[in-house]
A and B are shown apart, each in its own frame.
Chain A
Amino acid sequence: MTALIAALLIAALLLFVLWALSAPFRRDAVVGAPGDTDARRALESAKEAKYAEIRDNETDYRTGKLSDEDFRALDRQLRAEAVVILRAIDELAARTSASSV
């Protein structure tokens, strides 16, 4: 009985492995990395990080670690960097929609 269970277990494992590993090949093959999707995600991630940095700067200011002058200068600089990222996102979106038309 134990031998039968062991044999069934091995067979089930083998079938599962074969099914799981071959699944991507049963779909239509995709050639080439979708670079735009990756680039968009990277830019989105960079945007979130920049926003977090702006919020951090505000927290530093509110908790008395920055002078008015330093805060304003840093805030301006960080927002300018965020704008660059937003522009890059828009440009990428425009390029993607143009290529899909």
Chain B
Amino acid sequence: MAFAGRVALVLALSVALYGIVAALYGARRGRRDWVDSGRRSVYCLAAILTVAMVILEVAFIRNDFAYNTVANTSSTTTPLLYRAAAMWSSQEGSLLLWVWLLSIWASVATFITRNRLRDIVPYATSVLLGFGAFFAMLLVFFDSPFAQTHPAPTEGAGLDPLLRNPSMLIHPPMLYSGYTFFAIPFAFAVGALVVRRVDADWIRLTRRFALASWLFLGIGIVLGARWSYYELGWGGYWGWDPVENAALMPWLLSTAFLHSVMIQEKRGMLKIWNASLVLAASTLAIVGTFLVRSGVLNSIHAFGASTLGIPFVTLIAAMTAGSVYLVVSRRGVLRSEHSLDSMFSREAAFLLNNVVLVGLCFVIFWGTFFPLISEAVTGTSAAVGPPWFNRYTVPLALILVLLSGVGPVIAWRRATLANARRNFLAPIGAAAAMAIACYTVLPAHSSIGAVLLFCAAAFVVASVTQEFWRGWRARRATAGESAPVALLSMVRRNRRRYGGYIVHVGIAVLFIGVAASSTFQHEQTVSLQVGQSTHVGAYTMKYVKATGSVVTDPNHTGATMTLGALLRVTRGGHYVGTLRPSAGYYPASPIVPGQVVASLISGDAVDQIGLQSSWRRDLWAAIKPLGTTLPANGTQLPEESLVNRADASISPTWSATTQLYSAYWELRAIAAHYVASPPPASFTLIASPLVMWIWIGALIVLIGGLTAIWPAPSALRDRVRARYLARVAQELGRA
């Protein structure tokens, strides 16, 4: 079947190239049949890549180690769920996922617009197929997921234990969906600029794709943060890693775009700005994809050095040069139809929000690429760390949160001071009340930055609540509906506005969590023996007993052996909870005869954190069971002498199956020995307030985003009616 996969990829590349030529030829000659054939290439690309995906996925599920990708990233001991997701842990598998998602979303976009924007669509189709051809070319010529080795190895290396986390099952598809969704507004922007039709029509048609991109990218970023918090054993959720930043930058630009695009739709303004934002965000999405694969910057999330750097740099250069050329050469038609009526209007607030978002993006870009910039200028690579990022991003984030409270309470076009006084009274009151609470009731006055952020968040929540309240009251007065019906119909009639407001509340809540957890966190790294305890902030954590299990990994990640601890947490003498941190030991590949026991546990060792989470605070613990370190891979084994002794007890003349069977029994003995007489263990213990609010805030953002993206019922009805009308016209034409 690998051959069928390889043929499918070649066919995908051919179809994409044909589609580009057909769509462009059709556009130049005014031939609808060629344009249609080009559009159908997008559907064919999706169908072919779906077949390729299925072939590879089946290989993973069937443990077909003849495929190099499967052998390198999966194993028989990897649980089924993680085997199914192992495809995107490899470079080639993730590239296939990228282009497959692109083809699906591009098919949706070209299908929706099949009878719209007929001058723009052929060029947009070409651009989308251009991306498809680029990635198919990488898969055919550089990094094939269908490369094989014969004879096939009997066992694979297994999925990197760090990736055996539920967040990682859906994090890459979400992130890639975000990246690929944004290719659609990019493609239509290019098409609109090529044909010089820069009204808001293409924006209205692709706005939902931009919103979907923003939403999926946001989900991907949050899932990545959760993975970092749960899996990486350092207790943080954001480390300003280049790959994290690479996802955040296009998200910031798409946030800016989603705001400024409203000004173009309503006023015909900011056309150059919007075109530039779309083109820049999409280019940054490709930069993000490149960063993960090029090895140019060090990141825990990257695939390491590869040969894909040059093709990606070429694509990025082409996108940048093409974008600049299109915007500059079309500057005449991109002139604004109106000018700003007042600096005290929603447009002005959006403009300021755009400046801050782009500023934030620039700071992150500069910090991320500083090692490359410094190397180019001084010859020495120097990186900037989290303190540098925090110094510049925190003030900008503060302004941003504040603006998300200002926007909802001022009107489009112009606002008067009298109305503003009335509308800002409650939000300012809420911010003042929060400031007083921070200095009196809450123990939060030690950090001025955190206090300001709490006040800004209170301002946002109050301004949005006021908007909901007034809108709901007006709806009840005009429609005479009951309270819940009025609220629902108010949101339903204006999903974009109220969905956006919900997102603002989510962002404010998320920032409360970020500010509190990063400012008021207590952390302790300590070595403890059973019976000893330590203080973490107001909490006392006592190492009660050691735990151990073999094969039956309590975290369901397929660890061969799990060693951990049970920690009892009290506060002021009162029981608070129990934490169960552990370390999972995974097999190395290949299993070395004569060292079977050592091989079964000398792969990567991964922290499985112990966590007690509540709305007030998180208690977080990670353990490193102390022992000798294997020089080969730095893995810590609990008792090397025990392991060696166990290996010596297994006869090398036995069959592989008998050796493995005996090795598991020996491992059970080692785990039992560890539990009975545990050595001191190294713990990282954290008490961090309001972390849960980060995830709650993200969930609120998701709800708001879905509210805004959902099509209005009338639009659905119109679409059905339009389909029937088109059918009538077609049938009349045939008669």
* Interface residues, chain A, with chain B CB atoms under 8 Å away: 2-3, 5-7, 9-10, 13-14, 16-17, 20-25, 27, 29-34, 37-38, 41-42, 45-46, 49, 53, 55-57, 59-60, 62-67, 70, 74
Contact B1 A24 (CB under 8 A): no
Q: Looking at the complex, which one of A3, A27, A60, A67 makes contact with B33 (CB distance below 8 Å)?
A: A27
Whether A17 contacts B411 by the Cβ 8 Å rule is no
Closest to A28 in B: B33
Tell whether, in the assembled complex, residue A33 and residue B416 are in contact, meaning their CB atoms are under 8 Å apart: no
Question: Is B31 in contact with A31, judged by CB distance below 8 angstroms?
Answer: yes
The DSSP consensus for interface residues of chain B is helix
Contact indicator B51/A5 (Cβ below 8 Å): no
CA distance A23 to B416 in the complex (A): 60
- B415 proximal to A (CB < 8 A): yes
- Report chain B residues within 8 Å CB of A10: 4, 7-8
Q: In the complex, what residues of A have CB within 8 A of residue B445's CB?
A: none
Interface of A is mostly: helix
Question: Which B residue sits closest to A53, measured CB to CB?
Answer: B266
Quote the shortest CB–CB distance from A40 to chain B (angstroms): 11
Could you tell me the distance between the alpha carbons of A41 and B121 in the complex, rounded to whole angstroms? 14
Residue in contact with A29 in the complex, picked from B4, B31, B418, CB distance below 8 Å: B31
Q: Given A9-B51, A21-B44, A41-B116, decide whether A65 and B474 contact each other with a Cβ distance below 8 A.
A: no
Question: Closest CB-CB distance, B127 to chain A, in whole Å?
Answer: 19
Report the Cα distance A63→B8, complex, angstroms. Answer: 57
Q: Are B18 and A21 in contact (CB under 8 A)?
A: yes
Q: Is there an interface contact between A21 and B41, defined as CB atoms closer than 8 Å? A: yes
Q: A49-B265, A64-B422 are in contact. Are A33 and B118 (CB under 8 A)?
A: yes
25 contacts between A and B (CB under 8 A): A5-B1, A6-B4, A10-B8, A13-B7, A13-B48, A13-B51, A17-B15, A21-B22, A21-B44, A23-B36, A24-B36, A25-B33, A32-B32, A38-B117, A38-B118, A41-B201, A49-B266, A56-B412, A56-B497, A59-B471, A60-B412, A62-B470, A62-B471, A64-B470, A70-B411
Q: Please report which residues of chain B, range 286-321, place their CB below 8 angstroms from some CB of chain A when the two chains form the complex.
A: none
Q: Which residues of B contact A5 (CB under 8 A)?
A: 1, 4
Closest chain A residue to B4, Cβ basis: A6
State whether B44 touches A62 (Cβ < 8 A).
Answer: no
Tell me, yes or no, whether B30 is within 8 Å of chain A by CB. yes
For B467, the chain A residues whose CB sits under 8 A away are 63
Bound-complex Cα distance A24 to B409 (A): 52
Among B1, B115, B494, point to the contact of A2 (Cβ < 8 A).
Answer: B1
Which chain A positions have C-beta within 8 A of B115? 37, 41
Q: Does B141 contact A (CB under 8 A)?
A: no
Judging by beta carbons under 8 Å apart, are A67 and B416 in contact? yes
Evaluate whether A24 and B30 lie within 8 angstroms (CB atoms) in the complex, with A38-B118, A66-B419 already known.
no
11 new A-B contacts, CB < 8 A, other than A13-B7, A49-B200, are: A16-B44, A17-B15, A21-B37, A23-B37, A37-B118, A60-B411, A63-B471, A63-B474, A65-B423, A70-B414, A74-B412
Distance in Å: Cβ of B713 to nearest Cβ of chain A? 14
Nearest to B14 among chain A residues (CB) is: A17
Query: B43–A20 contact, CB under 8 A?
Result: yes
Q: Mark B116-132, 1 if CB is under 8 A from A, else 0.
A: 11110000000000000
8 Å CB interface, B372-413 against A: 409-413
Inter-chain CA distance A2–B59, complex, in Å, is 13
